[in-house]
Amino acid sequence: MTGTTIPVAVARWLSTLSVLVVVSGFALAPVRSEGQSGSVSGQGAAAAVTTTSGAQQFAIAALPSSGGMADSELATVAVPSTLSADGLASITTGQLDQTLVSATTTAEAANVSVLNGLITARAVLAVATSYANGVGATSESDGSTLVGLVVNGASYGDEAPTPNTQVNLPGVGYVVLNEQIPTGDGVHSTGLTVNMIHVYLIGPLGTPTGDIVVGTAQSAASL
C-alpha cells in the first residue's frame, strides 16, 4: 500500500462537514410536535462483519425516533484475517417539524484493510441524507467518498466509484463499491442505505457465507 495516510482527524472533519452542510439552515428539533405525522430514522456503522460464526458491528449510532443526534466512536478494530481499521465513527442527526423532516447519517473509517489487504483504503466516508416536506421526498449520498482505494491490486484513486460498482474477487466472492439501496415512494417517503465497501462472501458451492461492510449509513424520512 503506497501513498500518504490521511489522519483520522481529517476524516472526522470531512464527516462533520458533511453533516453541517446537509442541515445548514435548519434547526434540529429533538422533540416531536404534538400531532406531528412525520417520521425520521437513521443508523450508521463504521464497519460490520457477518460470518457463519456470528455478526459484529463497530461504532454504531442509531437516531432516536424523536430526532436529535446520536454518535459513536472506536479508536481501532481488528478481526483476524478479515478486517482492520482505525478512527471508526458514526454520526446520525434528524429533525421533525410541521413542514420538513430530514435525517443525515455519516459513517467513517481510516487505514482500512479487508481480507489481509485484498481491499485497502486510506479513508472511507459514507453519507446518506433524506428529506420529506409533504409534497416531495428525496434522498442523496453527496459527500460519500473512498480515498486511496485499492481492490485486488487495482487502484481507484481518491473518488468514489460509480454507484453499485461490482468487482469479482476470485475465491472469495465479490465486492460492491459505493452500494446504494433506495426505498420509499419519492412523494411522501424516502430512504437510502449507502455501503461504501460491501464484500459478499461466497462459499465453494456458491452459497453465501457472510459479508463485510465498511462505511454503512442509512437515512429515511416521511411526511
Mean pLDDT of 47-70: 95
pLDDT score, position 33: 42
Answer for the pair 202, 52: CB distance below 8 angstroms, yes or no: no
Query: In 10 A of CB 156, how many CB atoms?
Result: 18
Contacts of range 3-11, beta carbons closer than 8 Å, 24 or more positions apart:
3/122, 3/148, 4/122, 5/110, 5/111, 5/122, 6/110, 6/122, 6/123, 6/147, 6/148, 7/110, 8/86, 8/87, 8/110, 10/123, 11/87, 11/108, 11/109, 11/110, 11/123, 11/125
Cell 464497519 found at: 47
Q: Where are the beta strands (DSSP E) in 52-118?
A: 54-62, 68-79, 83-96, 101-114
Share of the chain above pLDDT 70, in %: 84
Helices (H) and strands (E) in the chain, counts: 1, 14
pLDDT value at 62 more than 80: yes
pLDDT score, position 159: 85
Residue type, 96: L
pLDDT value at 167 more than 50: yes
| pLDDT tens digits, 63-115 | 998 899 999 999 999 999 999 999 999 999 999 988 999 999 999 999 999 99
Answer for the pair 43, 218: CB distance below 8 angstroms, yes or no: yes
pLDDT value at 1 more than 60: no
pLDDT score, position 98: 85
pLDDT score, position 17: 42
* H or E element in which residue 23 lies: helix 8-23
Residue type, 152: N
| pLDDT tens digits, 144-161 | 999 999 999 999 989 889
Q: CB-side exposure of 139: number of CA atoms within 13 Å?
A: 32
Q: Model's pTM, two decimal places? A: 0.84
